[in-house]
């Protein structure tokens, strides 16, 4: 009865004033007439009280079920070019690959080549020269060597003469040169190991080494000994940095992707990463390029979701296009939307012409509700000349050109229409619908621009020392609106480009 009683008491007071006037006008009449008027007055008052309009309160709409459903969010595909600076690798190799190679226990011991020859040598290398090409790394250097050798006569493997005086090559003259090179093929395994498969190329002598007065060419002997030393170096390199485990680094990145990110004025972003892929891998110049693919199902919500930490799944090879194509669900709580709506419409008053009389309609509060199909329900708590509840039903629509979200074809629900026609037909007025419809339009252009700015800020940042990302969102558009019972889900799609640079990533050899 709250809100109804004042109107009823106003009617009663008016009737009382009319009765008092009637009684004074007829005061000269007999007492029986006065008594009769009093009885009529009581009846009129009673009739006035019982004729006061009750609060209008129709049942909530019971909309028919439809094929509407919230489709599962498509996987977002992100192809991220990662550029890893190989200079730390080069510096490590320069530091850990020996600069001097010698024959065993040089200069005291000899290497014997059968019965008739012996030699010992010292070999030094130039600074390493590393060159990346396609999926291989070329590690090479110029070698400089000097050698001492002597010979003796042998018969059936038995010495028949003493060793000749030592003959030298590269001591009192320029050292002899040889070109040495290793080829490292680069691959990455599903468990995030970078494999450098090392192959020793044949050393290429640039200068001959001729010793003793008869000018014996012992370059071949030197190359034979050098091959043994280089094979030992190859084994050592494979042991030390042939396998680089980057899984701990990838796990750190995966943990970052699993975090909940606060988006001021927009809510919270949860990326929901699903899988990682290697789309391409190649080396160029001083850099190793890995095109890393990410499948994710990002969601933005007003309520902070639960943060879940998972182990990074095995990497899968797959081919995708450059850049990223992201499907994003914005899960909007109806209470939050209602706050925005009521900030604009609550307390709005407008007059409705009903013949010569003007009626007053006041919007107290509006509530948006989902119904399990394509439509939204707007519950209107109103006051003014009448008190009550009205339900309107319409379909949420987004205009990509104007970037406006609105409830189209908004109209009174059938149960509300019936209640209004029975109680106060003046409320059954198109102006009321039009006025409420005007306030159920939301300009999302600022929301979209803010979302793009926030996403661009997240794409361009340093994730950890020495590792940063660069990117841009080119396009952001809405692709679907799903008014579920609990939330209004707005699905969007954005495309752009993202890259990651690793400048100071430490290699764990």
Q: What is the pLDDT of residue 368?
A: 92
User: What one-character DSSP code corresponds to residue 11?
Assistant: H
What is the mean predicted confidence (pLDDT) over 64-73?
68
Q: What is the pLDDT of residue 49?
A: 38
* Alpha helices by DSSP H, 401-444: 414-423, 430-439
Percent of the chain at pLDDT exceeding 90: 13
Residue 249 pLDDT exceeds 70: yes
pTM for the model: 0.55
Residue 456 pLDDT exceeds 80: yes
Q: What is the pLDDT of residue 318?
A: 66
Percent of the chain at pLDDT exceeding 70: 83
Task: Name the one residue in this structure whose structure tokens are 């992707």.
Answer: 257
Q: Which of 77-86, 284-293, 422-431 has the largest mean confidence?
A: 422-431
Reported as half-sphere exposure (CB side, CA atoms, 13 A), residue 380 has a value of 30
Residue 21 pLDDT exceeds 60: no
- Select from 400, 190, 185, 499 the least CA-distant residue to 314: 190
pLDDT band at 97 (very low <50, low <70, confident <90, very high): confident
φ/ψ of 195, rounded to 5, equals -105, 125
Q: What is the pLDDT of residue 46?
A: 39
Residue 247 pLDDT exceeds 70: yes
What is the mean predicted confidence (pLDDT) over 319-334?
77
- pLDDT tens-digit profile of 122-172? 888 898 887 777 767 788 889 898 888 888 899 988 999 998 888 888 888
- pLDDT tens-digit profile of 377-421? 999 999 999 999 999 999 999 888 888 888 999 999 999 999 988
pLDDT band at 9 (very low <50, low <70, confident <90, very high): very low
CA distance 220 to 215: 14
pLDDT band at 505 (very low <50, low <70, confident <90, very high): low
Where does 201-338 show beta strands of DSSP type E? 204-205, 210-211, 216-217, 243-245, 260-263, 267-270, 273-285, 287-296, 299-301, 316-317, 323-333
pLDDT band at 13 (very low <50, low <70, confident <90, very high): very low
């Amino acid at each position: 009865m709250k809100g109804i009683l004042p109107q009823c008491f106003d009617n009663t007071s008016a009737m009382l004033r009319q009765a008092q006037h009637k009684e004074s006008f007829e005061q000269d009449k007999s007492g029986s007439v006065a008594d009769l008027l009093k009885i009529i007055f009581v009846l009129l008052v009673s009739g006035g009280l019982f004729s006061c309009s009750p609060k209008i309160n129709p049942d909530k709409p019971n909309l028919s079920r439809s094929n509407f459903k919230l489709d599962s969010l498509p996987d977002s595909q992100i192809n991220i070019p990662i550029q890893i600076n190989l200079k730390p690798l080069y510096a490590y190799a320069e530091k850990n690959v020996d600069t001097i190679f010698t024959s065993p226990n040089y200069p005291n011991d000899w290497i014997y080549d059968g019965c008739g020859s012996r030699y010992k040598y010292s070999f030094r290398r130039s600074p390493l020269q590393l060159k990346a090409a396609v999926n291989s790394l070329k590690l090479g250097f110029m070698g400089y060597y000097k050698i001492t050798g002597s010979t003796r006569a042998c018969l059936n493997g038995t010495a028949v003469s003493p060793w000749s005086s030592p003959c030298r090559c590269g001591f009192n003259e320029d050292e002899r040169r040889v070109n040495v090179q290793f080829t490292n093929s680069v691959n990455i395994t599903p468990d995030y190991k970078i494999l450098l498969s090392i192959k020793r190329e044949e050393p290429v002598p640039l200068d001959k080494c001729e010793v003793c007065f008869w000018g014996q060419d012992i370059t071949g002997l030197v190359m034979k000994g050098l091959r043994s030393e280089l094979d030992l170096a190859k084994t050592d390199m494979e042991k030390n940095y042939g396998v680089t485990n980057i899984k701990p680094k990838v796990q750190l990145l995966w943990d970052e992707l699993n975090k909940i990110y606060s988006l001021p004025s927009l809510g919270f972003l949860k990326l929901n990463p699903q899988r990682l892929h290697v789309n391409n891998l190649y080396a160029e110049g001083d850099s190793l390029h890995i095109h890393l693919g990410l499948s994710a199902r990002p969601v933005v919500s007003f309520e902070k979701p639960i943060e879940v930490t998972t182990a990074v799944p095995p990497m899968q090879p797959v081919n995708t296009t450059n850049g990223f194509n992201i499907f994003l669900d914005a899960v909007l709580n109806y209470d939050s939307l209602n706050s925005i709506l009521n900030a604009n419409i609550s307390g709005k008053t407008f007059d409705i012409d009903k013949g010569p009389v003007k009626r007053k309609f006041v919007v107290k509060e509006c509530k948006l509700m989902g119904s399990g199909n394509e439509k939204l329900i707007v519950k209107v708590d109103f006051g003014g000349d009448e008190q009550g509840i009205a339900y309107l039903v319409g379909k949420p629509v987004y205009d990509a050109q104007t970037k406006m979200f609105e409830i189209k074809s908004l109209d009174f629900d059938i149960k509300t229409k019936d209640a209004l026609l029975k109680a106060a037909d003046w409320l059954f007025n198109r102006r009321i619908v039009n006025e409420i419809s005007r306030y159920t339009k939301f300009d999302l252009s600022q929301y979209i621009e803010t979302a793009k700015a926030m996403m661009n800020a997240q794409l361009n940042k340093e994730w950890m020392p020495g590792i940063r990302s660069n990117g841009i969102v080119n396009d952001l558009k809405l692709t679907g609106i799903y008014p579920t019972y609990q939330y209004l889900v707005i699905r969007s799609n954005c495309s752009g480009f993202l890259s990651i640079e690793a400048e100071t990533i430490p290699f764990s050899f």
